[in-house]
Every structure is written in structure tokens, then in C-alpha cells.
A and B are shown apart, each in its own frame.
Chain A
Amino acid sequence: MNRRGFLECAALLVGGVTASQASFSLTDEQKVYLATASDYVASEVDFFTSDQRELITHFSEIIIPETQTPGAKQAGTSRFIELMVADWLNDQEREIFMSGLESIPSIAFNSYSKRVGDLSEIEMLGILETLEEDASDDPWYAFANTTGAFGEDHKSPFICQLKELTIWGFFTSEVGAKQVLRYSPMPMSFKGDIPLKEDDSAWAGRNS
């Protein structure tokens, strides 16, 4: 749907919009608008080796697995991670991430005497848990840490970067927002007190 079509739908949904406001100029239909742009994870990227890409896919799925609802793999989270490492991390952060990623084969060998490709899922989880244990005093884990792993003042270790990118990529994906969280882009009303049932998810969207 182009922007004009989208606006007409929105206007219909909202109702009570006067003719003057519904009669948007028709000259700009060619414009590409964010609401109708392609997904960020559909962008081209070729930064990891195929082994690294496979490992990150496994790791992200271990962090956010498929349960009754889709997990990281189905949401395309590993592509998000690769894009962010390639395009968004600064040199210092990228160096931390890549040396963390490149250290996995030797950890695998030392811990399990195996090549990465031969690791079981339990063994991969074991590696991640060990990395988390080693990083457990990092300020990333502090209560009310709002800046995350990529703030100005502190460079968090690989495991924190990996978890944050996985969680961010998953819950901001279309799959995560619609199938795991609850997504309501056009609520039409505000209610300040509705029942929260045991199994209810949070609302998707950061509203920034």
C-alpha cells in the first residue's frame, strides 16, 4: 500500500475527519514512505562467514527459542545481528563482537574437544552460560541499566552484545511484535485499567 492508500485507511478507521483533511494532495504518490518501506532485515549484508552466520543463528535461537510461538530464527534475528554488527556498531564495539565470535571455536575445542559444527545444542548453551558467568559482574547486568551494551562510557563484552542484539532484533521484528507480543497500531481509545491475565503479553512498539 502506498502512503496515500494508507492514509485513506487510517482516515476511515479514525472517522470524523473532515473533507478538507481527507483531500490530501495527490502529487506525491511516488514517494517511498517508511510505513510502506521494506523491512530493515531485508537489507543486503555479507559480513559474517557462512560458519559464523550459522553459529549466530544457533545462538540467537538458543537465547529466544521457538516454543508455542516462533523464535529468533523464524523472526530473521540473525540477519538483524549481522546487519547491526556490519553497519551500526562502532569500530571498538565491532572488534569486541568479532573477537568474541572468533573465540568460540577454541572454547568449543577446549571445553568439548569438538568443532563448532559438531556441538550439540546443550553444549552451545553451556558455552553461552559460561560466557555469561564470566561477565556476571559487568555493569550491563545492573538493575535499571537503560543504556545497554552500546553506551558511550562502557564497552560491554560479547555475550551482552549478543543477547541485547538478539532480544532487540526479535521483539522489534514483525514476527516478535505480532506473534509473541501484542500489536495494536491503531488502538482508537485509551483505557487505563484493563485486566492483565496470567498469560498476557506486553504491547509491542516503543512509541518513540
Chain B
Amino acid sequence: MFNRTTEYDAIVVGSGISGGWAAKELTEKGLKVLVLERGEELQHGIDYLGEHAPDWKLPFNGKPNRKEEAEEYSIQSQNYAFSEANKQFFNNDKKNPYIRNDEKPFNWIRADVVGGRSLLWGRQTYRWSEQDFTANSVDGTEIPWPVSYGDIAPWYSYVEKFVGISGQAEGLKQLPDSEFLPPMEMQALEKTIKKRLAEKAPDVTMTIGRVAVLTENHNGRGACHYCGPCHRGCSTGSYFSSHSSTLPAARATGNLTLRANSVVEKLIYDEATGKVSEVHVIDAKTGERHQFSAKIFFLCASTIASAQILLNSKSEQFPDGLANSSGTLGKYLMDHMLSMGGVGVFLDDMDSYYYGNRPNGIYIPRFRNVELKDADADFIRGYGYQGTAGRGDWTTDFNRRGFGAGLKEKLRKPSTHWFYLGGFLECLPKASNRVTVDPQNLDRFGIPQVSVEFDWSENEYKMMADMKAQANRILKAAGAVYIVSDDVKGLDGSADGPIGGMGIHEMGTARMGDDPTTSVLNKHNQAHDVANLFITDGSFMTSSSCVNPSLTYMAFTARACDYAVKQLAAGKI
């Protein structure tokens, strides 16, 4: 039994960062848009159940519910942002499983509510550089990007002005400046370290994190109140999410229909027109089946989910999945390798403290293989560090010896001054890192589950070794009196290394390129094979850079919407 519903101009699958932008851009250009979201309805503000909840109100005073995590959220709970205060945003791994290969594991961190991971993201916001877009062609890895920095730069500006990004202009070629709101302040120790690095490690720039959190009122959203845990949701809309920003803008046009609990089973390809004609949806609550038709379709379901939908959309024309004449669909999955650089203990600025919870840290942009390959580097590409200064307190010093008033006195005060550096490493694309679907394993809706295989390349492990060595050099130059670091782990598949997916920056699976035989999308995020199909989530990424990718998804989404609507108006779609 199918319920057929009125035709829309455009259908957007997914309401996260990319889907929210597609909804905003397409509705503002006058299109009637249906957004399909598999997750539950979630109202801005009202449904941020854990927002501002103090520890003593949380179950176990905020300690993780280990039993429930193991049973219901075995993958999601490994993510830093998961807690008793926001677990309702996350996918229930028991209810909605995927096939995780123990030999080549990938942790798929996903939301299951309207707004998707835009509610949960780390909000770090960086532009790609020209060097990132030319990387594949320069070092001959896989296929070249069909887009240059110059092509996307105006679209970065366009989305940045709406999003509101606080940060400090640095004039670096490898990390172009955004349209900035005032930067957040560094802590005293961070300022001290920045000064020392300028003298003792002048090849390294340290800047305040660039973050999609408002430092002043912006576009009708309130400035940050510095309560701390953004990922519980923010009723003042101080950080950018679909809920706070793009969906309200889309709603204001009167052109938006948003349907939650709408699991997309597949897209239907019409051989007569050579286009996608409709989408098949299963209601997650009622089990009812629906079909919706439209002129254009935007897949913004996330890198793995969009690949799953296309791989499950088989037809006579496309037996291996829709828009997959190249055979590359699902392949070249990437993530950023995240690994500790080191923690330095400092005796500086002990009489300085902070006020407020800064939802941001510091950033050290890539300084290896910039422009030309460094002579001493045994790897290509590069990495950046995210870090922060911090003070020890009872949460870190709980294991002190002793009892009584002396112990209580020590535990109530700030203690050690430390500075942390975490590496974010670029990952090279390779065909064996891939997403497939398994018709033998159906989910609770009867849809073939997705299977993910992922491992790192030698280049990433070599880069990890360099990243840790350089972090040691930086922490020494910064004046650390003691450095905690760890070994390079995980080479040759040993279990202790970084697991793919934990960067939560999955990319690839429907990469763009000029050659239709080696790529799924053209330079406009349009499927080579199907003119009215666009994919603008992380799927389109041809390489990974080392910077956080969400801003790039936003810019490409806005650009693709502009192109699609012009093509539609010109009668070319």
C-alpha cells in the first residue's frame, strides 16, 4: 500500500548541516521543498532536555549509564559528546545497527533526530585552501578535484556571513581567513605559549579556534552565554545548527514541508526521462509507506547514509546502484585520523584563572609540507592541532592520597596548569575503504543494512609519528616542565590505534570529478548519470584536507542549490 502525495519542486533527504542549507537555499529561491528526516521530531529549545541541567540533576550525577551504553549505544557512547544529558539526540545502535567489520572497523557516529549532527558537531569552522584542492593532482593520488579554491571562496563568504564564525584573521595561505565575528579570548597560559612559540618555533602559528559560536548577536540569534556544553542544545541559538539557523529561515519562506520519522528506502529512476522521479519512504513510527515526487532531489543524508540509499536504489539501468556507472559509488571513504599529540604541564600563570566556559580551544594550522614537501617528511599532506589550556581540579586529582580537611582543601582548588594538543590528520582516499549494502542483513524496515570497511594507510601512520614528535617539540618550545605523550599505535591493524569514524568527519563515497568514468558527481555536485540528482553532504569529497569539513559542505551545498535552480529555470533539468 502506497500513499502518493503532491509533487514538490525539490526533495531534500536529511536535515543536518547540508540538508538544512539545501532547505534554506531552495525555499528562498521560491521552490516548494520537502525535507525528509529519518530521525524523530525535535523542537528548538523545548526538546533540549539536558540544557543547563546541573550534575546533581543527572542520573548518577552525570556518570555514564554504562549498562545502557553497552546495550543500546555501543558505538555512539564512544563519542566524546555523548552523555546522559543528550543521549536522546543519538542513534540507538541496537535499534538501528550497521555491519561493522571487526577486521576493518569503522565507528559510525550518527544522530537520529531532526537537525541531525548539526546539533552535536564540534563547531570548529575552517576554510580549505588552494593547496587542499590541488593536493590530489600535485602528488598524483587518485583523481583531481574539479573545483578550485577560487571557485568556492565566494561561497565560503556567503555561508560564513549567515552562520556567524568567531575567529582571528591570520593571513595564512594554508588556512584562508573567514568572514569573522570577534575572536574568543585566549587563556593566560595560551597567550604565554603563543608568545614563546613566536620566538622558539616561528614556523608554527597558534590562533584561537575558529568556531560557529556567536561572540555577538547575529542574524536574530543571541550571543553565547558561555554555559559550556553546546552539544546539549542551545535555546538561544548561539551556535549554528539547522534548528537555530537554516530551518527557521526555510520555514519563514512558507515553502518548507519537513517530515520527520521518514526513512528513505530508495530513489526511483525513470528510464524514459533519465531522471529520478520519486522517493520511497517508510514512516519509522507507523510503518506506512509513502512516495513523493519532485523535479530535483538533494541527498544530504550523510556520507554513509547517502551511499546506502543510492546502493539500494537499483534499476535495470543501474544494477549496481543509482548513478553508479563509474563503479566508484561507496568507495574512497575517508575520515580524519585523530590522535593525541601530547599534554604539557606548566608552572606559568599559576595565579591566573578564567571565567565562563569557552566552547572553543586554540588551533595550530598545518605547518608541514606547506607549499613544497618538507625535506625531512616521510609522508605527504599534513595535519593541524586543536588544543586548549586547562587547570587540574577534583575531576583530574580525585586519586590523591590522604583524607580529611587537607584533602578537601586541595581538591576544591585549581591545581596543575596543563596544555593539550590533539592532532587532526589528513587521510588519503583509497578504493578499499568502502560502504556496501548487504541484502542478507535487513534492518527493522526491511532495508538492506550498510556495511563499512575501513583502515588507515601507511601515510597516515607515518604522519602520526611526525605529529607526535612535532607536538613534543612544540610543547618544549612552549615551556612545558613535564610532557605526557603516547606511542604510535595501531600500525598493522593492532587494536589500540585510532579507529576510523572517531573523527566524525566521514567523507567520500560519491566523489566529484571531471571524468564520469571515475567519479559519481560533476563539479556542481550533480550526478554525472542523473541530471536531477545532487549530493552535497560529505559524500562528494574527493580528498579530505586536515581541517574540519562542515563549512565546506555548507559552501558546496549553497553553490549546488544556486546551480540547480538556474538549470531548472533554463529547462536543462
Contact = CB atoms under 8 A, between A and B. Distances in A.
B404 A62 contact: yes
B236 A164 contact: no
B353 to A, nearest CB: 4
Given A40-B56, A88-B63, A24 B220 contact: no
Interface stretch (B10-18, B264-272, B387-395, B450-458): B387-395
A80 interface: yes
Contacts of B405: 65, 67
Interface in B185-212: 185-188, 190-191
Contacts of B409: 67
Contacts of B191: 192-193
A164 B414 CA distance: 18
A5 interface: no
Contacts of B237: 17, 21
Given A24-B45, A40-B57, A88 B66 contact: yes
A163 B397 CA distance: 12
Contacts of B66: 88, 90
B404 A125 contact: yes
A33 B49 CA distance: 5
B54 A177 contact: yes
Contact of B52 (A129, A174, A185): A185
A34 B357 contact: no
Given A188-B356, A191-B354, A196-B414, A34 B50 contact: yes
A3 interface: yes
A181 interface: yes
A52 B192 CA distance: 51
Contacts of B190: 192
A49 interface: no
A34 B57 contact: yes
Contact of B62 (A7, A125, A141, A208): A208
Contacts of B358: 190, 192
B227 A192 contact: no
Nearest to A11: B236
Contact of B227 (A11, A174, A186): A186
- Contact count band on B: 35 or more
A64 B407 contact: yes
Contacts of A87: 60
A172 B352 contact: no
Among A7, A15, A189, A202, the most chain B Cβ lie within 10 Å of the Cβ of: A202
A35 B53 contact: yes
A39 B222 contact: no
Given A148-B398, A195-B351, A88 B60 contact: yes
A101 interface: no
B347 interface: no
Nearest to B405: A67
A172 B225 contact: no
A18 interface: yes
B236 A206 contact: no
B285 interface: no
Nearest to B397: A167
B412 A173 contact: no
Contacts of A108: none
A189 B185 CA distance: 10
B85 A189 contact: no
Contact of B217 (A16, A163, A202): A16
A190 B182 CA distance: 13
Interface of B: 43-47, 49-63, 65-67, 83, 85, 184-188, 190-191, 217, 220-229, 235-238, 248, 343, 349-358, 391, 393-396, 398-399, 401-405, 407-409, 411-414, 484
10 residue pairs, one from A and one from B, having the closest CB atoms: A207-B228, A187-B356, A190-B356, A172-B55, A34-B53, A196-B353, A202-B393, A192-B185, A172-B61, A16-B217
Given A14-B225, A39-B57, A200-B353, 18 more contacts: A14-B223, A34-B58, A36-B57, A64-B407, A90-B66, A125-B404, A148-B398, A164-B398, A167-B411, A181-B412, A190-B357, A192-B186, A200-B413, A201-B412, A202-B394, A205-B228, A206-B62, A208-B229
Interface of A: 3-4, 6-7, 10-11, 13-18, 20-21, 24-25, 28, 31, 33-41, 62-65, 67, 71, 80, 83-84, 87-88, 90, 125, 128-129, 132, 136, 140-142, 144-146, 148, 160, 163-164, 167-169, 171-174, 177, 180-181, 183-196, 200-208
